Structure 1
């Protein structure tokens, strides 16, 4: 059975409402529940358990809430023991971020002015020359590559080259190709890097993370060689928080010209936000190519809510005691290991680092044939259970899952453990699948 996280399995929605005749008023299927008299107002079917707000005309199921909530739409919330995955919503925003976004939503502003002020504050907080908020890390790839190509507006597509290590090619290549640039692959050789830089490509794009390290030169070597050749370096470190030092290490310490981060992963900001940090000239050109200008980034719009939300997220992140946060993750992993040890056919160990190289552990659960479960059946059973639970399979063996503490709310680690103990005790993966 396939992993629901890979297939994007659809979630069932409530049945469609019956059609309305504008002359006669709403016509309602009597099997479906309450009927509405347009003159007298709504009536309530006591069997359906619906209540009606007479002012708003909304029907509310007290079990799930209004139709504008996740539950009201028939979408089940997820306990995320996997990672800060986009398909699961990234991360959960803390209260200061929600407040900042709510405040921004309540007023009009000069968006360019707000963009500038937010960028100045983010640059100050992160020890960078300049900063720019984008509508996600993928958009930031396009904008930073565009910045390295030209300072001319409406110039794209441009026939030029961007250098990448062959081992780091990935699904975000399209962010480069949108500019018209061609990707030139190289191997992990300083001589090969020096040779390709003589062709004066627009930039070198380097991806951070343990899953990108094999087959590539270290970023310190790349930055040094590229600086000698006068070719800018962009580092994509979208998921590399923690540690918070990522905010300045690649630019201030290593010498990359631009750093790309996701706003909605480790920073716990708005999911539809990203961050470019680095040289002022890169940020100035990103602004030129981005919305609201009629350029390659016009469709990559950032709202005032994302601007203030991401600023609040960075401020909040820097206020946290990272050592305490990471120690809390380790305690959760310890608890998982203790709770799952001794389960029949199960081997549970500590996996370090986390899925993209973040400096904390995960619990790795391996299943033998005597467990009665296949990996895919267990993943599906957790996903289909109550509560719905997502676990990690990225870069795991076919017989293993990973449990990540980073994305859990207080108390959810115990719910994950309870669900796993219940399923593994049954030893009936065929039935669960």
Structure 2
């Protein structure tokens, strides 16, 4: 049975990216098999989380790791961990609403919609610097007795008006303040699994499990120091505390462990070459269409090393082209970040779909 068809839902080809609204990424047969196997037995979820974390930590060159239900859940749990450090009395005070005030420092250039998860953990966001520039003394001035952590958003697309991660961590260590890095969409490259934590010195780093890792969409990964990962665990499920809402199932844990094992073992250079060939094909073929400008970019919207195609359209007609793509069969999803630009990415395609994307685009652009 086709599940989506039974609900009257039309599937689509994803030439956009691993977006939550499109279902994240597609899981491999090995990941699905691991989830199916895990679904057939009862276990101790405490033990499963512990053993899974140990295995992931070893695979990713980290001290410790924890699986949760998506990167946003990882933010909440990480903030809670820096607030109470796993102390049961402090955990209870947060539950009771009697805990001391908690502030999380964020650079103005890092203020994004996802930072609502920080407030969900009961902390106040204190903005450092402005959208044009930030100085070291401004970060130091923001630190006080209520500061629980500094929250840093990774990615070259967010780097311009903020301090570097290296400078941020150096200052944080001088004051004994932990640094949380949101790296949800920062895979690839593979080395990011340990770059922010082991190599750079961040205390907790959060990744989406359902994007580049191609695990269950509702999964997320936190890596970091033993001390703070244990604090994350103390706040999370299956304990009946605030993190209970972010309960990763045995199936999700099995799926993400397997997905990570596949990810660290794969030939990432070969994957890049496949993507690159698709992008070159698109550029060559779409450049033949008059009235549009087609170019190649070797990084995506989140600053990742994923090649993509930029299509610049005349007369601000991008929305019209996107609308046409939504009304073709099959539907093709693309990124449009302005009224003149459309972006195509190959990393979420299945073999052969690059040809369909190209043909559907030609149809959608036929009116130019």
Query: Equivalent residue for 2:128?
Result: 186
Query: Equivalent residue for 1:174?
Result: 116
Shift of 1:199: 4.0
Query: Equivalent residue for 1:381?
Result: 324
Assess if the C-alpha contact under 8 Å between 2:71 and 2:184 holds in 1.
yes
Q: Is residue 413 from structure 1 mapped to residue 366 from structure 2 by the alignment?
A: no
Query: Equivalent residue for 1:206?
Result: 152
Q: Aligned equivalents of 1:135 and 1:155: distance in 2?
A: 24
TM-score, normalised with respect to structure 2:
0.94
Query: Equivalent residue for 2:334?
Result: 391
Query: Equivalent residue for 1:117?
Result: 51
Structure 1 segments, 4+ long, off by >4 Å, are: none
CA-to-partner distance for each residue in 1:316-356, whole Å, 9 max, x for gaps?
00111111111111111000001101212111001231110
Q: Is residue 154 from structure 1 mapped to residue 154 from structure 2 by the alignment?
A: no
Q: Aligned equivalents of 1:203 and 1:339: distance in 2?
A: 49
Q: Aligned equivalents of 1:413 and 1:199: distance in 2?
A: 54
- Counterpart of 1:259 in 2: which secondary structure? strand
Q: Aligned equivalents of 1:271 and 1:122: distance in 2?
A: 18
Query: Equivalent residue for 2:248?
Result: 302
Query: Equivalent residue for 1:20?
Result: none
Q: Is residue 165 from structure 1 mapped to residue 107 from structure 2 by the alignment?
A: yes
Structure 2 gap segments, 5+ residues each: none
Assess if the C-alpha contact under 8 Å between 2:219 and 2:248 holds in 1.
yes
Assess if the C-alpha contact under 8 Å between 2:31 and 2:255 holds in 1.
yes
- Counterpart of 1:299 in 2: which secondary structure? helix
Q: Aligned equivalents of 2:201 and 2:127: distance in 1?
A: 22
Q: Which has the higher helix share?
A: 2
**Structure with the greater relative contact order (CA < 8 A, sep ≥ 6): 1 or 2?**
2
Structure 1 gap segments, 5+ residues each: 1-64, 428-433
TM-score, normalised with respect to structure 1:
0.80
Q: Aligned equivalents of 1:261 and 1:412: distance in 2?
A: 27
Assess if the C-alpha contact under 8 Å between 1:135 and 1:302 holds in 2.
yes
Q: Aligned equivalents of 1:282 and 1:406: distance in 2?
A: 33
Give aligned pairs, total: 356
Q: Aligned equivalents of 2:33 and 2:356: distance in 1?
A: 29
Shift of 1:213: 1.4
Assess if the C-alpha contact under 8 Å between 2:318 and 2:338 holds in 1.
no
- Counterpart of 2:93 in 1: which secondary structure? coil
